[in-house]
């Protein structure tokens, strides 16, 4: 995701010059998100779905339910599986083919927030212990990439889970055409808050221009109890202990803002 040398360095100089004035290239404050919009029920063949826009970034998540055998070590729990596709439609830097390391990291960090916050009550997704449980697939589809995929993807995933309704189950077969009114057993609504470090400055919700020059990235997954449920530092740059603790505090504040979009 690094741009090539000279252009990148000129771009970075420009962005830093603006940051020195206390503003960002798109006019935002350091701790300000771009405009956020969430449209639930966007993809109606999914059991649940949500399109999330953060500025020009667009992410669509769809939830599909099916039946599966539980894992041997959790015989009375359903299964949650999260994937992300960086479809080439969304950016010239995304390629056709199996998920690359960026897509894998993205899906795993979102999965971590969902899983570790117990967003889904997996025990309630058990139908017959050891034999049959609900498999919940959350597929995250990046449609337009203008920065900050982590936060947008996590918002889309949890929104799609909130939107989902169980389909009818008849003699062990799913009647996908008939959705029931029953929602999934949601126990927590985690959100992720990402900061970019550019030179000595740290800004929330980086847009693409900022991501192209950032030195480091850090993502906090925050539960509705303001606890940390996931954390991921990225890129070559570093953070000090103090920066991390400070950003954690900011993340808790931002998480409250984001969680308003989940109501």
Partner 1 sequence: MKVGKPEKLIVNGKRLDGRAFDELRPIKIKAGVLKRADGSCYLEWGKNKIIAACYGPREVHPRHLARPDRAILRCVYKMAPFSVKERKKPGPDRRSVELSKVITEALENVVFLNLFPRSAIDVYIEVLQAEGGTRCASLTAASVALADAGVPMKDLVAACAAGKVDGEIVLDLFELEDNYGEADLPVGIVPRTGEITLLQMDGNLTREEFEKALDLAIKGALQVYELQKAALKEKYGGENGGEQ
Residues 54-73 that bind partner 1 (CB under 8 A): 56, 58, 60, 62-64, 66, 72-73
> Which CB atom, from 21 or from 194, has the smaller least distance to partner 1?
194
- Shortest Cβ 218–partner 1 spacing (Å): 7
Q: Binding pattern to partner 1, positions 156-195, x when CB under 8 A? A: --------------------xx------------------
Asked if 252 and 228 touch (Cβ cutoff 8 Å), the reply is no
Please report whether residue 27 would count as binding partner 1 according to CB under 8 A: no
Nearest to 217 by CA among 241, 200, 197, 231: 197
Whether the Cβ atoms of residue 217 and residue 196 lie closer than 8 Å to each other: yes
* 145 contacts partner 1 (rule: CB under 8 A): yes
CB of 11 to partner 1, least distance (A): 15
Which residue in 21, 27, 35, 96 binds partner 1 (CB under 8 A)?
Answer: 96
Nearer to partner 1, 6 or 260 (CB): 6
CB 162 to partner 1: min, Å: 15
Instruction: Work out how close the CB of 21 gets to partner 1 at its nearest, in angstroms, rounded to a whole number.
Output: 26
- The closest of 126, 138, 156, 130 to 54, measured between CA atoms, is 156
First-residue to last-residue Cα distance in the chain = 34
∠ CA 188-70-174, nearest 5°, is 85
- Asked if 5 is part of the footprint of partner 1 (rule: CB under 8 A), the reply reads yes
Query: Which string of x and - marks every residue 229-248 that binds partner 1 (by CB under 8 A)?
Result: xxxxxxxxxxxxx--xx--x
Burial environment of residue 222 by CB neighbours within 10 A (0 to 12, 13 to 18, 19 or more):
buried
Q: Please tell me whether residue 194 adopts helix, strand or coil conformation.
A: strand
């Amino acid at each position: 995701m690094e741009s090539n040398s000279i252009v990148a360095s000129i771009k970075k100089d420009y962005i830093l010059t603006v940051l020195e004035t206390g503003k960002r290239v798109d006019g935002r404050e350091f701790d300000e998100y771009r405009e956020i919009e969430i449209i639930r029920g966007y993809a109606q063949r999914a059991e649940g779905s949500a399109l999330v826009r953060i500025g020009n970034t667009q992410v669509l998540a769809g939830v599909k339910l099916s039946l599966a055998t539980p894992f041997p070590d959790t015989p009375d729990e359903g299964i949650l599986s999260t994937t992300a596709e960086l479809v080439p439609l969304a950016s010239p830097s995304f390629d056709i083919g199996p998920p690359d390391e960026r897509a894998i990291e993205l899906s795993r960090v979102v999965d971590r927030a969902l899983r570790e916050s117990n967003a889904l009550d997996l025990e309630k997704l058990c139908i017959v212990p050891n034999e049959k449980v609900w498999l919940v697939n959350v597929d995250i589809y990046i449609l337009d990439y203008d920065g900050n995929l982590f936060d947008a993807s996590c918002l889309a995933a949890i929104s799609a889970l909130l939107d989902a309704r169980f389909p009818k189950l008849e003699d062990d077969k799913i009647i996908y055409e008939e959705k029931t009114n029953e929602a999934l057993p949601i126990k927590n609504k985690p959100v992720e808050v990402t900061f970019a470090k550019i030179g000595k400055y740290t800004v929330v919700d980086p847009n693409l221009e900022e991501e192209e020059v950032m030195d480091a990235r850090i993502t906090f997954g925050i539960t509705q109890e303001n606890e940390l449920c996931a954390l991921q530092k990225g890129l070559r740059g570093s953070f000090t202990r103090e920066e991390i603790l400070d950003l954690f505090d900011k993340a808790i504040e931002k998480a409250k803002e984001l969680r308003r979009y989940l109501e």
